[in-house]
Amino acid sequence: MKKVAIYAARRLATAAFTVLLVSLLIFIAFNLVPGDPVRLILGTEASEERVAALRALLGLDKSLPMQYLGWISGMLHGDFGTSIKYQRPVAELIGQRVPVTVTLAAFSLVLAFAFAIPLGILSARKKGSISDKAISFGSMLSISIPGFCLGIFVIWLFGLKLRLFMPGGYVSYRTNIPGYLNYMLFPAIVMALPNAAVALNYLRSSILEELKRNYVKTALSKGHTLKGALYKHVLKNAFVPLISLVGMMAASAFGGSIIIEQVFGIPGIGALLIGAITSRDFPMAQSMAACISVIVVGSNSAADIAIQIIDPRIKLYK
């Protein structure tokens, strides 16, 4: 456990450095975008006095290094700044939208593994069969189709034709939880399919690799059937590498929800981020991009640490 604790500390330190570097790149990128947010707010006819006053109020009169340090310091204390577009605290605006995006991302992850695990096991057991080829073709297709195209197809089929939900008729979780979950089901399926295909192929390869191990041959020599050895010994070892996918898929689901939210008209952080970028609301856009980077890096770091704890056979990084 001592080695795991040391590894976890190093991994968290690396994650913190990565987030800091990404935040610097985000800050530089947004400051390279042409256009003056102050002029955007006040208009081109505003007097220089009003421009200077607002620039000082937003902290844009300081040097770039001081602006960056002020932004990072504020975020560490929970102050993400004030939205230029909405004139409200960024943390408050993000807090109102995050539950929707988190629900969508979590829903899609649950569905992804609900699809991937049984199909991955079936594909490995029936290697080379028609069902295996059909599953492989389906997974390849789901990875190849862009999410927004699949979303439009789902809206056309399940919304307009089968009328299983009302396209654009988003229902808030604050007013109707069953209606909210019913509406979120279809965008969650769209997000889940590519991740399910990746997890399915990963699980299939892992199972086939484990079936070659000596302990499987030993189990078979003791009278176990292949099916029995698979469910009793192989799966618990084949599932361990999937943990690394959970972190990547969580990050992918959270980031991918931005596009799917636009397709289905879901008021999550996607619309907020796109609106902030198009209106040059730098405090909002910068803070949201930084939060997404924290989620991505944090998810992957947590998955790496979990693998080291669960499976001590995996060699720790030095």
The verdict on residue 27 lying in a domain is no
Each residue of 87-111: pLDDT tens digit? 888 888 888 888 888 889 889 999 9
Q: Are 183 and 165 in contact (CB under 8 A)?
A: yes
Query: Where residue 222 sits, what CATH number does that domain have?
Result: 1.10.3720.10
Q: DSSP alpha helices (H): ranges in the chain?
A: 2-32, 37-42, 48-57, 64-76, 90-125, 130-144, 147-154, 177-210, 214-221, 226-229, 235-238, 242-264, 269-278, 282-310
Could you tell me which of 180, 191, 192 has the C-alpha nearest to residue 99? 180
Confidence check: pLDDT of 1 > 70: no
At CA 298, angle to CA 94 and CA 246, rounded to 5?
Answer: 105
pLDDT category of residue 188 using cuts at 50, 70 and 90: very high
At CA 26, angle to CA 23 and CA 30, rounded to 5?
Answer: 145
pLDDT category of residue 35 using cuts at 50, 70 and 90: low
The verdict on residue 134 lying in a domain is yes
Question: What domain range includes position 147?
Answer: 94-280
pLDDT category of residue 312 using cuts at 50, 70 and 90: low
The verdict on residue 318 lying in a domain is no
The verdict on residue 86 lying in a domain is no
Confidence check: pLDDT of 208 > 80: yes
Average pLDDT over the chain, rounded to whole? 83
Q: At what angle do helices 282-310 and 269-278 cross, to 10 degrees?
A: 140
Q: Are 64 and 258 in contact (CB under 8 A)?
A: no
**Any residues with CB less than 8 A from the CB of 262 and at least 6 apart, and which?**
148, 270, 271, 274
- Region 299-305: what's the mean pLDDT? 80
- Region 137-141: what's the mean pLDDT? 90
**Domain total in the chain:** 1
Confidence check: pLDDT of 145 > 60: yes
The percentage of residues in the chain with a pLDDT greater than 70, rounded to a whole number, is 93
The percentage of residues in the chain with a pLDDT greater than 90, rounded to a whole number, is 12
- 223 versus 315: which is more confidently predicted? 223
The verdict on residue 48 lying in a domain is no
Tokens read off for 14: 């690396």
pLDDT category of residue 114 using cuts at 50, 70 and 90: very high
d(CA 16, CA 3): 20
pLDDT category of residue 318 using cuts at 50, 70 and 90: very low
d(CA 171, CA 255): 22
Q: What integer pLDDT is reported at residue 241 of this predicted model?
A: 74
Tokens read off for 34: 């042409």
The verdict on residue 232 lying in a domain is yes
- 101 versus 281: which is more confidently predicted? 101
- Region 129-147: what's the mean pLDDT? 89
The verdict on residue 83 lying in a domain is no
- 300 versus 184: which is more confidently predicted? 184
Kindly list the distances between the CA atom of residue 259 and the CA atoms of 151, 154, 212, 253, 265, in Å, as whole numbers in the listed order.
10, 14, 41, 10, 10
Could you tell me which of 193, 174, 194 has the C-alpha nearest to residue 100? 174
